[in-house]
Each structure stands twice: as C-alpha cells, then as structure tokens.
Structure 1
C-alpha cells in the first residue's frame, strides 16, 4: 500500500484506526473456515460517512475492499485472498433506535446479535435470527450471510425479518432500500437482494429490523428414536400439523455416539437419533400445542419422549445437543462442515445417501442441524495431515453436493458461499441466471472491488 493511500485512510478515520503492520493486520485475515490471507491494511470505520469515503477512495484507486464483522463465518467470505483492505465494521455498534410501537429497531452492522436481543428484551421483543455464534456474531454478518439459526423453522430468516437497509455500493454512492412499514411494494426488492450477498454488492451501514413479541411461554421436549429414518418421519409429521415448533433440532446416530465418547448421556443404548423440540406461544394454550406436537412425534421407531418440567430439566434435555460441538472440536478439530438443505420430506433420502457415501469413501460423517426446514449440517471428519483421506473427503463432498441437488435441495442454508462453495455454485444455478447475477454485480460494483472472487464462480463476469 502506498503512503498516499495510507494517509488518505488516516485522514478519513484517524491514525489509530488504520493498521498496516503485518503483525497488526494478521488477525483480520481469517474467518472460521480456517483460511487465512494477510490484508494490506485494516481500517476501522465508525460512521456511515467514513464508509462512503473509504469506498470512494478504493473505487478511485482500484483497491479491493473486504467488509468484515467478527470473523465468525465458515466459508472464507471475509478472507482477503486477493489482498486489499479489510474494512472492519465492529466499531459501528450503535443501536440507533428501538421503536416498540412500530415493532422496529434501527441498528448499525457492528451490533452483536446478543447485544441486540438483550436491548430488546425489556421492551418485550426479540429479533428472530439466532445463529449458534449469536454471542459474538454481528448483525451485519447475519445479514451478509442471511444467517438464521434454529428459530427459522417458525420465524424465518433475516430476509423476512429486515424491512430496509442503508448501504454504500462499489462506487461510493449511498443507497437506501426497503421501507419502515411492514407493507411496501414500490420499486424492486433490493433489501432481499443485498441480504445474503456477502458484501459483494454493497456495504451495509444501517438496518431497519422487524421485531417479534417475546412469547409468553415455552415448552421443551426431547424425542429419541431407533434410527434417523424414524426421526425423519417424525419431522415430516410434526411439520404437517398446525402447530409449528420454534425449534426442531436433530442429531443422528453418529453424532450421539460421538457425544457418548465425550460425556455421560442419560440415553438408552438403542437410541439412534434424537430430536430436540421447542414450542412457544401464549401461556394459556401451550399445553395443548405441545400435546399436538408430541402426538405427531409418536411415529413407528420411537424410543421415548421427555418433556421438561422446569429450567433444570430443560438444561438437562439440551445437554446432549450442547455437548456435540465440544466433542467435535476435540475429536475432529479439522472437520469439513457443510450446511446443505433439502425438502423436509427428503431428509430420509439424504441420510441414506450420506450413509452410503460414508462407506464408499471410508469417511466418518456426523449429521445434525435444523430438521424443521431440512437444513442439515453434514460433518466429514478428516485429518488434514492424511493426504489420501483428504482426497477421499473432497470426492465424498462433491458427491454429497450432487446428492443434495438431486433431492431438490440447495448447497447452503445459512453459512453462505464465500470461497468454500464458490466453485460448486454452477451446479445449482444455470448459466443464464449466473450471467444475470454477474451483470447485477457489475451494476453495483463496476470496478469489482467489493469482496472480489467470492460467492459466484470465476469466469462468468460480464464485460
């Protein structure tokens, strides 16, 4: 980076908000994909106007610019693999407004999901998206990936829970999208276009979020089954009855076996799959709603159903699911983790197919995730130091993607595309649509400076 560019950046944000020494920049070159690349500089913006000036400078100088929150993403979408400047938005962390009367909140992108939920709770509201990393991930990151979490089965994703955005496109110009009302059809829906675009179209500096009242009560149920096929039948039955659970999580037999090796479980030996179910709503009808869900869950192959009676029992029922992540970190710290989605009715076919692929390639596969919307986290347990195993794992992964698409699914539900899945996108999206997407991208970012090389396959850019 030239001294003149560094001085220009310092003039925008101040000397202490620009990092150029490799040691200082190093932590901002990674995300949770384990990929890493050293940026030429890291800049911390604190206002919308600063973001505008930074983008304008990069546009004029043809400098790559990669927006970043807390780096919790798993697909390499914030890794500066082509150099350039990392624009950290973590200091843009103001909750500008909470408006209970209109059920909206206006926030900057650096606000963490947890901080927002804590601020909303005294007003009796919450924002539905709740990724696993909610304690540290930012709203900007949630929007960039359309990250949802377990509650999406009932309350949907950030796209359905965001009314409008303020953003800066690749020329440094400001745009405002959407509305602050729950209805609005004037113009094209650029809000939903920007959400999930991974910083390749614009940098979001402000969001108007649609709030949901906190439920009066919640019930927690654990259902265990002989195998994943029985559990999948239960998922289909639960989702076919009128009461939609607010969480419907599953673990397959391999996941349960892994947790058994890591901690003591209060589960019979014949349990081959597990569903964690939460039902929420008005207190006066919760018992009937829970009973309806439990009845649907009683399919052939069920082992047991337990309902928590108090907070301690809720914690006990969730123990198995919560023990899975530590077990995976200890047993397979270098696992390949994908978040594919299939129609709920095709979950049994996916699980059967994954079992066959596991045997074919001699790769252990552990499955868990958000069963209510078919969002399955497929974990291939590998050893990066074993070249033969890694080759088999990547072949297994390619066939996993082919299987998902054959079943009418999609390659990513909430983790995004980034670098990890970029080269598989053209298996899901046909050439004409990809051409249109690249043309849209060029309209937003004529010089291609915003997070280049991410989200869409190489070689499809329009002239």
Structure 2
C-alpha cells in the first residue's frame, strides 16, 4: 500500500481543487477516517469536488497513478463501506449538495449526491410530495449514501427501498467516464438497467453525481396500532397474517421482549409483554378506518394481549418516538454492538425469531431483535463488552451462526445497511462461485483497474 501520494498526483489535484478542495491536513483526514461502523483508517488525502467534471478528473488522475478512491457521503453507514483503505484518497461529495430541480408534475426531483435526506423532505413537503426512504439517520444522511447502500427504513414495506424510488442516475465510472441511465419516466424497456445495478453497489462500480428520484404524494391521513403479544413467536405469526391480507401497511415494526424492557428502562410508557408490533396505515379520511380495521383483524389471534389504536397527533408520534429511541438505547446495555440487518421471507420470520432466541441462550449473550418485519428485515443486535475477552469471543462466534440461520431460511445478508467490510467475507456463503464471478466481471467492466472502493462488497477470489 502507498504510504504517500505521488507528487505528480498531489500537484494535479491541488491545482484542480485549490487549497480548500484538496486537503491533506490532519483534521480533514481524521474527519473522514471512519463511518458509523467505528472501523477506522486514515486516508492520505481528502478531495472535495463541487462539480461532476472535477469528479471525473479526480478519478482519472487516481487511475493513472493506481491510487484507490473511496467515495463518501455523510458517513452514517454501519458496515465500513465508506472507511478508506490504507493509501487511498477519500472523495467527499459533501459539496455537491444542490437540489437541481423539483418536477412536481412528473413526480420526480433531480438532486446531487450530497443533499441530505431530511433537507430534501423539507423542500418537497410544500409540493405535497416526499421521497419514501426513511432510514433512522434520515435527518443527517445523504441521498448519495442512501443510494449507495440501498437504504430503506420503516416505510419500505409499502413504498420500497431507495432502489425502488430512483428513476435515473448520472455517474462516473472507474475509467473516469460519465454515464447516464434512466430519466424522468417510470417505464423503460431500453437496454440494460444500469440505474438499479448501481444502486446498492456501495461506490464500487461508479460514483453517483446526480440522481433523478421518484416522488410520492403525501398521505392525507395516518393512523397506527400498538399490538402486544404473549411472546415473540405469537407476534411473528401475526406478521405473516398481516402481510397475507390485501391491505399493505405503511409500516410494520417488530420489537422483542428485551426491546420493550429497554424502552421502559429509558422512560418510555410501554407495557410489559413478550413482544410488540407497531402497525401504521395511511390513506384518506374516508378509507383509513377501514384499512386500519383490516390490519387490526389480521393482527388479532393466538397470543395477542392488547391492541390500541392511535390516530393522528401526539399518541401516534409517541408510538414512533419509542421505536426511534430503541437503537441509541442499546448502548446502555453494553458498549459493544454488532448490528445486523438480515432478511428472510415474511413467512419464515417466526423461525428466525426462534432461532435467534436459541442462539442467545446457547452463547449466553444479550441479543435484541427488532425491525422492519413487513419486509422480513429484522435488526439482530448482539450486545457485549469488548474488554471481556470471553464475551467478545462468544459475540464473534455467534455472528456467523446468525448468518447461517438466515441463509438456511432462504434469506439474505442485508436488507438496507449493505455489505461493506462487515459482511464481505460472508458473501461466499450467500452466493455461488459462478454468481460471484459474474459480479466480479461487472466490476471489471466498470472499474477496470479496481480503484473504486476496492476490498468492499466482494470477497477475495479464494
């Protein structure tokens, strides 16, 4: 690995970007050394382009000198996808943060990658529109980052993930070429679907410099249900019933007993129960009561303890405030957290929940499970004390068993966090050698010298 950048590269990019756009000082390097996975590696420099032409020039220069380029948004990801490699340059897209166009009549917006999700939602609201992806970090995460890892959130059960809500992209390949795919239309049977290939590729195929996003009208009314169950299995069975009837909930969140205990410990008004579902519907004032009744009927069944309705206003906000408080509160149990976002078919959620509970007992660990049950996407949080060698070893041993369980249930490794470094080495278990070879061929076609975020997503050839 390079320990310093070639002088010719430094001279070229310094001239291109100026002193404020080409940073090699300790403060800039330190600020771009990690993401929310807490993995850390100092880059040799940070490039801050403000135009797509500058992105092209940076990639071309780094390619000539065989220097890795790691694209970065807001750094809220949890898998290490934005953590620089030793000897690499971070290409920060923070300055490319313009909302270029809101086309309300076409229900789309054209944005640069550095635009924050929360800022976009504020601009769209007066138009009666929103962009559906709503990860927990929505206020501070970037659109480019959302697209890079195919972010989702609670609303994905009805409205889909980032991949389902992007219409077109402009991106810079590993050769420094500018490619355009898709556009301001919702039907397209023209050629290969590069738009949806690039979404979720974590900056390993191309660097997104512009996105045309699919927008959705804001609902007139919303209401929620809080349903308590005797145990996690009863709640998981209810998820299958809810998703098996015609009304699609806007959100369907699962929380196990440890989640509820943690919420109570942190002051939330949550009754004692074995598990809880938060179910939300949206629509207009005339149809919403009927939608909510259909969801309530499906939620009822063996093991249900109580069902409460929260219409719009403080009661509904209180429900979701409890859910949002959960992830930060995990640190009060233990300082170490392995947070995985596995996915299984909805019908197999009961088996996943039972399997995770069995692993918690086998490894004598606290494992808190909650998440977007309507998509079969549960966040399995292994909590441990890193300074306890034995507990640390048990946590690390439990992780591959979680993945093995997921794959045995016909599931997949990630629903919205992506692969990055954290799950890269498990990809060989999730895909056949032939499938991985096809992925590597795509990588080689778009990034022939392998300079774009190398070492992420795909495991080594062995």
Normalising TM by the smaller chain, what interval? over 0.9
Equivalent position to 1:382, from 359, 376, 384: 384
Equivalent position to 2:225, from 209, 221, 227: 221
Matches of residues 442-457 of structure 1 in structure 2 within 5 Å?
442-457=444-459
Question: Which residue of the partner structure matches residue 127 of structure 1?
Answer: 131
Which SS does the other structure have where 1:53 is aligned? helix
| Residue 257 (structure 1) shift | 1.6
In 2, the alpha carbon distance for the partners of 1:413 and 1:341 equals 6
Question: Which residue of the partner structure matches residue 232 of structure 1?
Answer: 236
Does structure 2 conserve the Cα–Cα contact (< 8 Å) formed by 1:263 and 1:323?
Answer: no
Question: Which residue of the partner structure matches residue 72 of structure 1?
Answer: 76
The Cα offsets for residues 421-451 of structure 1, whole Å up to 9 and x where unpaired, read as 0000010100001011101101111111000
Structure 1 runs not aligned, ≥5 long: none
In 2, the alpha carbon distance for the partners of 1:126 and 1:309 equals 21
Q: Do residues 212 (structure 1) and 216 (structure 2) align?
A: yes
Does structure 1 conserve the Cα–Cα contact (< 8 Å) formed by 2:221 and 2:312?
Answer: no
In 1, the alpha carbon distance for the partners of 2:314 and 2:180 equals 46
In 1, the alpha carbon distance for the partners of 2:325 and 2:166 equals 32
Which SS does the other structure have where 1:29 is aligned? coil
Q: Residues 439 and 154 of structure 1: is their aligned pair in 2 closer, same or farther, counting only changes over 3 Å? A: same
The Cα offsets for residues 179-205 of structure 1, whole Å up to 9 and x where unpaired, read as 321111111001111000000000000
| Residue 319 (structure 1) shift | 4.2
In 1, the alpha carbon distance for the partners of 2:48 and 2:435 equals 36
Question: Which residue of the partner structure matches residue 393 of structure 2?
Answer: 391
Question: Which residue of the partner structure matches residue 165 of structure 2?
Answer: 161
Q: Do residues 200 (structure 1) and 204 (structure 2) align?
A: yes
Equivalent position to 2:275, from 273, 276, 291: 273
| Residue 454 (structure 1) shift | 0.2
Does structure 1 conserve the Cα–Cα contact (< 8 Å) formed by 2:222 and 2:311?
Answer: no
Q: Do residues 58 (structure 1) and 86 (structure 2) align?
A: no
Q: Do residues 410 (structure 1) and 423 (structure 2) align?
A: no
Does structure 2 conserve the Cα–Cα contact (< 8 Å) formed by 1:36 and 1:81?
Answer: no
Question: Which residue of the partner structure matches residue 16 of structure 1?
Answer: 20
| Residue 394 (structure 1) shift | 1.3
Equivalent position to 1:338, from 332, 340, 352: 340
Matches of residues 10-409 of structure 1 in structure 2 within 5 Å?
10-267=14-271, 269=272, 271-409=273-411
| Residue 332 (structure 1) shift | 2.4
Does structure 1 conserve the Cα–Cα contact (< 8 Å) formed by 2:36 and 2:75?
Answer: yes
| Residue 264 (structure 1) shift | 4.7
In 2, the alpha carbon distance for the partners of 1:240 and 1:401 equals 26
In 2, the alpha carbon distance for the partners of 1:310 and 1:218 equals 6
In 1, the alpha carbon distance for the partners of 2:266 and 2:45 equals 42
| Residue 310 (structure 1) shift | 4.3
| Residue 322 (structure 1) shift | 3.1
Q: Residues 170 and 399 of structure 1: is their aligned pair in 2 closer, same or farther, counting only changes over 3 Å? A: same
Structure 2 runs not aligned, ≥5 long: none
Which SS does the other structure have where 1:284 is aligned? coil
The Cα offsets for residues 276-309 of structure 1, whole Å up to 9 and x where unpaired, read as 1110012221111111111111111111111114
| Residue 316 (structure 1) shift | 2.7
| Residue 262 (structure 1) shift | 2.5
In 2, the alpha carbon distance for the partners of 1:448 and 1:82 equals 15
Which SS does the other structure have where 2:401 is aligned? helix
| Residue 3 (structure 1) shift | 3.4
In 1, the alpha carbon distance for the partners of 2:312 and 2:445 equals 55
In 2, the alpha carbon distance for the partners of 1:415 and 1:310 equals 30
Does structure 2 conserve the Cα–Cα contact (< 8 Å) formed by 1:82 and 1:452?
Answer: no
Does structure 1 conserve the Cα–Cα contact (< 8 Å) formed by 2:223 and 2:312?
Answer: no
In 1, the alpha carbon distance for the partners of 2:335 and 2:132 equals 30
Q: CA RMSD in A?
A: 1.2
In 2, the alpha carbon distance for the partners of 1:444 and 1:266 equals 50
In 1, the alpha carbon distance for the partners of 2:20 and 2:268 equals 50
